Copies of this chain bind each other. A is one copy, B any other.
Amino acid sequence: MPSFSLQSLASIVGGTVVGDSSVQINNALPQRDAVAGCVTLADSSQQAVKAQHTPAAAVVVAEACNDCSLPQLIVSDIHAAFIKLVLVFRPHVVVDRSNDPTRISETAVVDPSTQIGSGVQIGARVMIGANCTIGERTVLHPGVTIMDHCQIGDDCEIYPGCVLYPDTKVGSRVLIHANAVLGAFGFGYRPQNGKHVRTAQLGWVELHDDVEIGAATTIDRGTYGATRIGQGTKIDNHVQIGHNCHIGAHNLICALVGIAGSCTTGDYVVMAGQVGLADHLHVADRAMIGAQAGLMNNVGEGEVMLGTPAMPRRQKFVELAHLSKLPEMRKEFAGLIKRVEQLESQSNTSTIQEREAA
């Protein structure tokens, strides 16, 4: 790794140095991973004080911290600055290939009927079927498989091992992580003579602009038409989206979520990890579904749902509160039974006394 003086790094990120600006820096790493000679970052004075106890040689801060003896690089936006510093030392992490000429690996297998835009990068062992179109500056990493009749927009990036089944449509600026699968058959069968017979699986998957898809995520094709992911929606790893779902714009769908067939969502919906949706549900705009919740019913606009079966957050909190008080309540209940028994025995006694008195 090359090294730079802290002063020269300050020029690169537009900051000022407090302390020894000649100290030589050889990497940019967070505190937990800090090694001797690196610059680290601190987003508070406490963090700056803690940085002294790491092997780091300097620290990026938003304000000078008197209680930190390390040389400090003061900048207005520590994350923007730290990103620049990381790229000084590890420039290969973000490679801008948008101005590169078209490059098609000689080990790629591309059907001649397919149209490739200018500036496209096609890696080793990529397979592209017949009648596809690949937009400008799109990057297909090694080992991607694009089956027949797929359409991919401009400035997309598709990581190794992804599989796009026939007819998949992808907008522009779409990012698809490794081993994702778009367009496998929906899980639809009808019983016939004791067997499960597959129903029609003739549709496709459609990702609108600025969608991001996590590693190993699977989205099934529609029955006759689209399974659709709306503009700007981001989907994490290991998510399963069933056939005919129409997911709205700007949703956030976390890892291991399973959405059964024909569900629809509005815009800005958030689903936390491991959420499950039964089929044919609608989740309206800005609803939030808590981790591991299991939805059995539609969800209204802006609602926050928790639990299995899922219920509104407030109701779930009330239920949990009552549940936690059950042991105490049962104890009180046993006490109350005794008190009633006591009253009953007194009442019997009085009644007997009254009878006797009468």
Q: Tell me whether A256 is interfacial, beta carbon within 8 Å.
A: yes
Q: Which residue of B lies closest to A351 (CB)?
A: B346
Q: Tell me whether A32 is interfacial, beta carbon within 8 Å.
A: yes
Residue in B195, B250, B307 whose beta carbon sits within 8 Å of that of A195 in the complex: B250
Give Cα distance in the complex from A208 to B194, angstroms: 16
Contacting pair A178 B163 (CB below 8 A): yes
Give Cα distance in the complex from A355 to B240, angstroms: 75
Contacting pair B339 A344 (CB below 8 A): yes
Contacting pair A212 B200 (CB below 8 A): no
Contacting pair B195 A210 (CB below 8 A): yes
For A199, what are the chain B residues with a Cβ–Cβ distance below 8 Å? 79
For A70, what are the chain B residues with a Cβ–Cβ distance below 8 Å? none
For A224, what are the chain B residues with a Cβ–Cβ distance below 8 Å? 28-30, 33, 41, 82, 86
Contacting pair B339 A336 (CB below 8 A): no
Q: Which of A176-218 contact B (CB under 8 A)?
A: 177-179, 181, 184-185, 187, 189, 194-196, 198-200, 202-203, 210, 212, 214-216, 218
Q: Tell me whether A274 is interfacial, beta carbon within 8 Å.
A: yes
Contacting pair A92 B166 (CB below 8 A): yes
| A contact residues, range | 35 or more
Q: Tell me whether A23 is interfacial, beta carbon within 8 Å.
A: no
Give Cα distance in the complex from A237 to B259, angstroms: 11
Q: Tell me whether A343 is interfacial, beta carbon within 8 Å.
A: yes
Q: Which residue of B lies closest to A196 (CB)?
A: B234
**What number of copies of this chain does the assembly contain?**
3
Chain A 307-348: CB-based contact to B (< 8 A → 1; otherwise 0) = 111000000001110111111011011001101100110110
Q: Could you say which of A5-13, A45-53, A61-69, A120-128 contacts chain B?
A: A120-128
Q: Tell me whether A136 is interfacial, beta carbon within 8 Å.
A: no
Give Cα distance in the complex from A326 to B315, angstroms: 12
Give Cα distance in the complex from A130 to B92, angstroms: 10
Give Cα distance in the complex from A184 to B141, angstroms: 13
CB A311 to nearest CB in B, in angstroms, measures 9
Contact sample, A vs B, 14 pairs, CB 8 Å cutoff: A29-B224, A30-B223, A30-B225, A33-B226, A83-B202, A94-B202, A125-B143, A163-B178, A184-B214, A196-B252, A214-B218, A238-B240, A292-B294, A347-B347
